[in-house]
Structure 1
């Protein structure tokens, strides 16, 4: 009875805001499209090349432009209306889906065309991610922000669960063409929902463009030890322990399944993460949040290790689901610290630092996994990466004792900056 009352209080308080509802629809469609494409691209590239390194290049093709433009994207997000940025970026992502569809219809066998599209997609995401992260506080009042953040994560996880499964089914039924048609339709819907938003965030920062303001996000994160520790812990843990790029190899050569099995494997981490996201929306982490974060990242590494040595599809799915569930705790801690402790005029640039680190851990991690697997094999690459993740947890627990000692997130995030951080904050707030 209590949980149903909580649910009733939770949903209307956030969904009564029209722009927030539309933004969630746009995010749902966009993430679904990306996940469907990821399954199709992974299976298609491995089918054409049979190379783990080729799979790694799909991550590198997205990461390099993301790295090059993320900080500029954060600067733009603080100076240009964020709804306009999102609309343009979603339009570019729609173009990427159309290009992938045309390559499939034209029976183009050269995977370099796919890499080219991924470079364009990575560029669009570099501008989209900071603007998307910074727009949420404009869609709901302050008292609903925590619920909105939790629901943002839930929407993303739902799409990440459904997208790979749908992509696997579409690929198995109609090949890459069917999967890309689905992503085109979803991207088009996402553009429509973004254009329907009434919110206009305007220019959040009045500072002139300079190298100093460009790097302000790095200075802010560096001085916020809790934020620095949480972001870099996630960065190196996933950079080493991520196994997503190698899932096509595991599906076909280790677990002996097809595109539908690949879809299930890609969906499994999101299933675990979604369960934890819903639980945290109604039952926050509470006390000892820092300690819980370190434990959860250690569980992520251990679950990845189990996946690495598994030869059973059900066990592999469970291991990936546990890894996703554990990773969600880290996501909630990091994102709560970021949004609550960052002033609005800095959210784009700080969000750019965060999303650049996420891109490094995911896309660069895919390249690391693919390149390593090319040399030692897929299974040793996953196992050694998981061991590396466990080592990172131990090292960060020693290097960031203040993060380990965090009790309640809201109180920790609202602590004032150290005195030596004053000039950086005052310059960006002027």
Structure 2
């Protein structure tokens, strides 16, 4: 079996994968820039952590609603066009925010509308990327490709918040949003350089030109409900997202109100989390373990709850950065393990619909967690909100570790990759 480093060299020599990875990284970098700028901008305009939860929550609510439709469209075909459309349209929407603000036309309700429209488009990339990634690599490279692709998010979390916080302090949140808009347009050019047939992969077998015949939502639901490990994995991620949600509105308010610091500090805190995830991914791929998914995923959730809940006792941003670094260190394997397991469970011609469905269900927890967290921060205080969210996360992690449906496929957690890639029912 080739080493992780050797597989990465092969992947980086794969031009379509390299272009796809670069586009995804720029996409996530733009997302992180906008998230810091939007949180600070909303806090300045409304002086309410609940308003932050409302803006971000509506973005995620519309993403949840649109995810099944995005998956259906990807199974129908035209994957390349859908990905390019998402990046161009979202870039234009983000550019409207500063333009409307500078002309005194931007109100809080209009900001929510613009973010809701961006949320409707976002699943074209989130669901689409999960669906098409296996078409860019060989089956025995899938886990490494997922680990490598997680660097898109991790590098964005490392660089994006710090740059976003610095830009917000230097040129203001509206100017930062304009920079962010450009970071959505550029990936569209990279995605356009990849041949359309690469996006289709083996799904082309379902119909000419990559168009599936007789595609229906019901088929995706039937497969999902008939696969207990997939249901268990989706519910675990939903609850994890719910427990994570309060951190988004509570952390900016904690920085400003409790620590008396500015957006630069907020950016550095998120970057500390990003550094932790990069280090954690490197360690995970270097020393793969033969743990069952239940133990890995549940342990990650419990550790995340301990470290983020520990912010309750922190009185200085530097100590907060240490805790978030440790949280990132332990959370890194989650997406690699969960996504690889999901891709192996779902046959290629169903990935769009099933991933659209699972993404929608998983993401329900995030806006709910943000909205509940914003309300809790306004009523119970920022510190208590983070502590209670941490306790919930630990409890859910312990329950996941006891799940009987996620204890079978140890290979998804970094065991023998060759065994994990053995086709099941001729699926790739």
TM-score, scaled relative to structure 1: 0.88
**Residues 287-326 of structure 1 aligned to structure 2 (within 5 Å):** 287-326=291-330
CA contact (8 A) 1:154 1:278 kept: no
CA distance in 2, matches of 1:26, 1:415: 30
State how many pairs are aligned.
411
Candidates 61, 65, 68, aligned match of 1:68? 65
**Number of the residue aligned with 2:373:** 369
- Pick one of 151, 155, 158 that aligns with 2:152: 155
Q: Does 1:226 align with 2:223?
A: no
- Residues 327-360 of structure 1: CA deviation (Å, up to 9, x unaligned): 2222222111111221110111121123223422
Distance 1:345 1:370, change over 3 A: same
User: Offset at 1:223?
Assistant: 2.7
- CA shift in 2, pair 1:128/1:155, >3 Å: closer
| Further displaced range: 362-371 or 279-288 | 279-288
Give 1:104 deviation, angstroms.
3.4
From the superposition, tell whether residues 109 and 181 of structure 1 become closer, same or farther in structure 2 (CA, over 3 Å). closer
Aligned counterpart in structure 2 of residue 96 of structure 1, from 93, 96, 105:
93
SS at match of 1:311: coil
Instruction: Compute the displacement of 1:161 (Å).
Output: 1.2
What is the distance in 2 between the residues matched to 1:238 and 1:322?
A: 18
Match of 1:37 in 2: 34
Name the CA distance, whole Å, in 1 between partners of 2:17 and 2:407: 34
Shift of 1:56: 1.0
**Aligned-partner Cα distance in 2 for 1:10–1:283:** 15
Partner of 2:240 in structure 1? 237
| Residue in 1 that maps onto 2:75 | 78
Q: Once the 2 structures are TM-superposed, how far is the Cα of residue 415 of structure 1 from its aligned partner?
A: 9.2
**2:55 aligned with 1:52, yes or no?**
no
Deviations 1:243-268 (A, max 9, x none): 12222101101122111001112223
Q: Please give the residue correspondences for 1:259-278 in structure 2 after superposition, counting only pairs within 5 Å.
A: 259-278=263-282
CA distance in structure 2 between the partners assigned to 1:25 and 1:241 by the alignment? 27
> Which of the residues 386, 399, 418 maps onto 1:382?
386
2:259 pairs with one of 243, 255, 258: 255
Aligned to 1:121: 118
Aligned 8 A contact 1:248 1:262 in 2: yes
Of the structure 1 ranges 151-160 and 199-208, higher mean CA displacement relative to structure 2 is found in 199-208
Q: Which residue of 2 aligns with 1:145?
A: 142
Structure 2 residue runs of 5 or longer lacking an equivalent are 207-211
- Are residue 167 (structure 1) and residue 164 (structure 2) matched? yes
Query: 1:310 & 1:333 partners in 2: Cα distance?
Result: 31
* Distance in 2 (alpha carbons) for counterparts of 1:8 and 1:233: 31
Cα RMSD (Å):
2.4
Q: Give the 3-state SS of the residue equivalent to 2:261 in structure 1.
A: coil
CA deviations on 1:163-216 (whole Å, 9 max, x unpaired) are 11110011111112331232122112111111111142346553424xxx3143
**1:9 to 1:285, Cα distance in 2 relative to 1, 3 A:** same
- Partner-residue secondary structure (3-state), 1:408: helix
How far the C-alpha of 1:19 sits from its partner, in A, is 0.9
Does 2:22 correspond to 1:25?
A: yes
Distance 2:11 2:370 in 1: 35
Worse-superposed segment, 231-240 or 186-195 = 231-240
